[in-house]
Amino acid sequence: MKSEANPKNHGTKKNHSHTDHHRMMIRDFRRRFYWTLVLSVPVLGLSELIQGWLGFSFSFPGADYLVFLLSTAIFLYGGWPFLKGLADELGNRNPGMMTLIGLAISVAYLYSAAVSFGLEGTPFYWELATLIAIMLAGHWIEMSSVLSASSALEELAQLMPSEAHRKNGNNVEDIPLEEVEKGDILLIKPGEKIPSDGIVSSGKSYLDESMLTGESKPVDKGEGDEVIGGSVNGDGSLEIRVESSGEDNYLNQVIDMVRKAQADKSRTQALSDKAAFWLTLIAISAGIITLSAWLIAGRDLQFSIARMATVMVITCPHALGLAIPLVVAVSTSKSAQNGLLIRNRTAFENARRITTVVFDKTGTLTKGNFEVSEVSTFADGYDEDRVVSMAAGLEGHSEHPIGKGIVHEAERRKLKIPEVEDFEAIKGKGVRGSLEGKNVMLLSPGALSEMDIEVPGGTDKGAETRVFLLVDKVLTGSIALADTIRPESYKAVQQLQSRGIKCWILTGDNEQTAAAVADELGVDGYFAQVLPDQKQEKIRELQEEGEYVAMTGDGVNDSPALAQAQIGIAVGSGTDVAAATADIILVNSNPLDVSALILFGRATHRKMVQNLIWATGYNVVAIPLAGGVLFPLGIIMSPEVGAILMSLSTVIVAINAKLLSVPKEKLVDG
């Protein structure tokens, strides 16, 4: 089966196609630059002005026509990308950078050609040749910078191996990666890359996921654990059951998400585009005004055209057009490498404005792995084992951490777990169903109070979460579970508070549990016993107090709160990267990454502002000089010098964008 025909690789193919097209354009500009450079040598050598500068004299019959022919080749071949761009932009009624360059070289060539065939004046073929050569070099450098910034996507795509070892009964066959399908059992040998997302069905090892999630420590994996395609196996053998392949793979989702984020235009970039458009109009107007002003002042046509061409070249908003997109490409790629997936560019850039971070407690600040710490009984005939087994029956198919903890306890006690009928989840309150012919419910303390059932006193201890078992509406027992606070949570809260950012906890847990965790972490406040549909209201309350709120949650029951917050941050665990309402996804579910997000957001915005200031400030200074305002003082800027400065400004903007970084020690230590 050919990979080209396989729709599962469409996303990766699309990325390669885009990159290949970009590389072809770079090669084209490079080739045109070298040919222009070669043809420019005799043009410069036969220029009287250049000969005067270098102190020699050389000519022969027909030299002027040879220079004309060479310059024509330079204009048509070297200048073709700009002439085509001029035609395309005018055809789309959207004049831009190519319009300026195309007009500048056309004016220079047509005027010089007219002089060669009888018009009085001095041609500036050598200015034309150097201008085109410099513009080609500038575009070559710019496009190479953009490709380099976007190459992280290609590097990610190359993390996947080319083939996989699929088990077929007792046999193992090597198949192309494109043929891997959901449900396949794959053998992963020591040191090999994981071919696809899946679940470990047998074996034990550790994986290096650093290139995927930014997690530097090897991650232990055993039976039942998720693995991510592209991660590198350690020294153990694993067998995995494929859960997703092709475009559904975590890696392809990341690549697609990063590509979309790079293409997404934030408000800052929209401002840049608008400024570039107006600068184009200003450049054309300034060129016409410069030409007219010098002609009215009595200067000859050659001088006036040279001034106009210089103004139009130097005013070209190339640097401004590149200022934001290149920072976007760099920041999005580097963020992804550090476990931050950006879905909303504007939200990412606004991370610097966050004044309050609201954390969902379970699974974000805590590990989300609940273990039963105590079982209490309140009715005759119900011992601890029976309370646990009935509760496990209700929670048998639950994905909630509390439910998993209860089922795990039943399995640890080797209890028989009864089958449940008529199962129903009661939103934000608990679960119910029919067990052994009885109506059984497992409820939160809040739900118990709503039923006017007195919650037994003296049962809650610190940060424990307690659920209550009711059989035929009679309270029969309770189970307390403890959820350990992540070690990273302490440092995350400290880092955020050290930057003047308030930290709040939002949880459906009872008051005592929420207070214990809040006190342990030293947060600024908490909301307890909040149902999922009430979380949005709590975010709104903070916003009404003037806070710029980032909400961090799991992207499922926290969706309304994530949508309400100015910035929604979803924690993703392993392959869970598709939180629909989140602006940013934290791949590692690590609260420390919220601090990293803010650092990256600030660094990105800082680079954007620096580039905008340079690109616009450069033009403010350069336009008057190009127009000749200092000519009475003997200071004049030639077109080729203008082209050099314009290209230099583009290179400075590109280099500044590539220097965007957040030191690793800051990401770790704050």
Of 570, 587, 604, the last residue of a domain is 587
Pick from 28-37, 166-175, 246-255: least confident: 246-255
- Distance from chain centroid for Cα 624: 39
Q: Tell me the CATH number at 499.
A: 3.40.50.1000
Residue ranges in 117-236 assigned as alpha helix (H): 125-157, 210-213
In a 3-state reduction of DSSP, which class is residue 460? coil
Of 215, 239, 256, the last residue of a domain is 256
Distance separating alpha carbons of residues 119 and 612, to the nearest angstrom: 43
Beta strand segments in 337-462, E: 340-342, 356-360, 371-377, 421-426, 430-435, 438-443
448 and 357 fall within a common domain: no
Residue 360: active-site member: yes
pLDDT attached to residue 632: 81
Nearest Cα to Cα of residue 348 among 260, 252, 248: 260
Domain count, the chain: 3
Contact 345, 261 (CB under 8 A): yes
Q: Is residue 380 part of a domain?
A: yes
Nearest Cα to Cα of residue 23 among 97, 82, 31: 31
pLDDT attached to residue 368: 66
For residue 156, pLDDT beyond 60: no
Q: Is residue 436 part of a domain?
A: yes
Q: Is residue 531 part of a domain?
A: yes
pLDDT attached to residue 501: 94
What confidence category does residue 391 fall into, taking pLDDT thresholds of 50, 70 and 90? very high
Q: What is the pLDDT averaged over residues 425-438?
A: 85
| Domain containing residue 348 | 340-365+486-587
Catalytic residue, candidates 184, 197, 360, 483: 360
What confidence category does residue 500 fall into, taking pLDDT thresholds of 50, 70 and 90? very high
For residue 476, pLDDT beyond 90: yes
pLDDT attached to residue 393: 92
- Distance from chain centroid for Cα 474: 53
Nearest Cα to Cα of residue 46 among 73, 76, 72, 68: 68
Q: Is residue 198 part of a domain?
A: yes
What's the pLDDT tens digit per position in 56-69? 777 778 888 898 99
* Residue found by looking up tokens 């777990």 in the block: 417
Q: Tell me the CATH number at 474.
A: 3.40.1110.10
Q: Is residue 442 part of a domain?
A: yes
Q: Tell me the CATH number at 250.
A: 2.70.150.10
Contact 571, 334 (CB under 8 A): no
For residue 197, pLDDT beyond 80: yes
Amino acid letter, 312: M
519 and 376 fall within a common domain: no
553 and 498 fall within a common domain: yes
479 and 495 fall within a common domain: no
559 and 467 fall within a common domain: no
531 and 545 fall within a common domain: yes
What's the pLDDT tens digit per position in 223-234? 888 888 878 888
Single pTM value for the model:
0.56
Distance separating alpha carbons of residues 399 and 547, to the nearest angstrom: 34
480 and 382 fall within a common domain: yes
361 and 432 fall within a common domain: no
Q: How far is CA 388 from CA 394, 411, 510, 617, in A?
A: 10, 10, 21, 71
Give one DSSP letter per residue of 293-356, joined into a string: HHHHTT--HHHHHHHHHHHHHHT-THHHHHHHHHHHHHHHHHHHHTTEEES-HHHHHGGGG--E
186 and 237 fall within a common domain: yes
For residue 284, pLDDT beyond 70: yes
509 and 361 fall within a common domain: yes
Q: Is residue 580 part of a domain?
A: yes
347 and 429 fall within a common domain: no
430 and 513 fall within a common domain: no
pLDDT attached to residue 425: 81
Q: Is residue 247 part of a domain?
A: yes
What confidence category does residue 667 fall into, taking pLDDT thresholds of 50, 70 and 90? low
What's the pLDDT tens digit per position in 547-602? 999 998 865 557 678 878 889 888 765 334 434 567 888 877 788 888 888 888 88
List b or e across 345-371, with b for residues whose CB sees 16 or more CB atoms inside 10 angstroms.
Answer: bbbbbbbbebebbbbbbbbbbbbbebe
Q: Is residue 45 part of a domain?
A: no
Of 540, 572, 587, the last residue of a domain is 587
pLDDT attached to residue 643: 60
